[in-house]
Amino acid sequence: MVPNPEKIKAGPSHGLKFIAMGVARVPNSNKLYLAGSDFKVHETEAGAKLDVKEIGKHDSYVTGVALAGKTLISCSYDQHLTWWDTEKKTQVRTVEAHSKWVRQVTASPDGSLVASVGDDMACKLWDVKTGKVVHELRGHKEKTPNHFPSMLFTSTFTADGKFLATADKVGHIVVWDVKTGKEYKTLEAPGFYTWDGRQRTHSIGGIRSVAFSPDGKYLAASGIGHIGNVDHLDGPARIEVFEWQSDKKSVLYDKTKQKGIVNRLVFAPNGSWLLGAGGAGNGFLIFIDMAKNKVAKEENVKFHVHSLALNEKADTVYAVGHNGLATFEMK
């Protein structure tokens, strides 16, 4: 039985000397790999005490990590992807993956592929064993409608690995057929994008995370709603859920207590709830009850949350972000 998020309780919390921008958990353990703003990839075990060890380095912020079997792949603003042997703690290979910042790397459910997305507006599918590109996917515009450079923030696979979704700054979502590399469907969520042409010429927002429900019926997207002052994250936390195969109107969740950006989404293993995490100054967790179509629980976090992971039973949440790592437990 999947735990009840209304019974969530805070567990051990630890300070970090860096911003953890991404996290990957080793199955059936509390061992975590962290993507650091200190240009490093770290290994640790979440518990009462925290011992953080360096695995290796990039030349800029490490923005994400993904685990494919015993291979860890990290991505960075240095435009590279790097493969790491987690047993030997050694670098396997590094490749110049994109011509601009790499925002995220995501492993397929079977661990055979990883998807990387970057601000060159490309998503690339890589063979984990060989490090070769399988498909280069281009379905996102390089400029916003207001002629600013756009950004490609995130991607996610369906549980069966047949489809991949990518999402960008202006709320454009593309679902791809993984086998053929062809565009399968597009969705639009413009409410995630704010442009301010009066006070200052500046734009902000974008879809920061996407997640398919385990049965593949729903596709959730997250970020921030309309921002009054684009220099601060003072807009409402925003999550939209699509029945993506149909043309039904998406369900919007933005009437929460939280202000700030939802950086990461994860579904419960049975799809009964959806968890979003993010922040502005401090951070938050937001649970959505999918059956009742409402926000079930909101939990404050002491730091802005950039990413999170669940264990197999979904009774433990590992949240990481601005100089912090915190665990939460549910019954």
pLDDT at res. 310: 97
Q: What is the pLDDT of residue 200?
A: 56
pLDDT given at position 147 = 86
- Judged against a pLDDT cut of 80, whether residue 202 lies above it is answered with no
Distance CA 12, CA 326 (A): 6
| pLDDT averaged over every residue in the chain | 95
Average the pLDDT over 35-44 and give the result: 98
| pLDDT tens figures, 139-180 | 999 999 888 899 999 999 999 999 999 999 999 999 999 999
What is the per-residue pLDDT for 153? 98
The pLDDT value recorded for residue 194 is 87
- With pLDDT > 90 as the criterion, what percentage of the chain qualifies? 89
pLDDT of residue 79: 98
pLDDT at position 285: 98
pLDDT of residue 148: 86
Has residue 196 got a pLDDT over 90? no
Tokens of 217: 């019926």
| pLDDT tens readout for residues 262-319 | 999 999 999 999 999 999 989 999 999 999 999 999 999 999 999 999 999 999 999 9
Residue 307 has a pLDDT of 98
Q: In the structure, what pLDDT confidence band is assigned to residue 76 with cuts at 50, 70 and 90?
A: very high
3-state secondary structure the chain: CCCCHHHCEEEEEEEEEEEEEEEEECCCCCEEEEEECCCEEEEEECCCCCCCEEEEECCCCEEEEEEECCEEEEEECCCEEEEEECCCCEEEEEEECCCCCEEEEEECCCCCEEEEEECCCCEEEEECCCCCEEEEECCCCCECCCCCECCEEEEEECCCCCEEEEEECCCEEEEEECCCCEEEEEEECHHHEEEECCCCCEEEECCCEEEECCCCCEEEEEEECCCCCCCCCCCEEEEEEEECCCCCCCEEECCCCCECEEEEEEECCCCCEEEEEEECCCEEEEEEECCCCEEEEEEEECCCEEEEEECCCCCEEEEEEEEEEEEEECC
Q: Domains in the chain, please, with CATH?
A: 5-329 (2.130.10.10)
pLDDT given at position 331: 84
**pLDDT band per the 50, 70, 90 thresholds, residue 198:** low
247: Cβ–Cβ under 8 A, 6 or more apart, which residues? none
% pLDDT > 70, the chain: 96
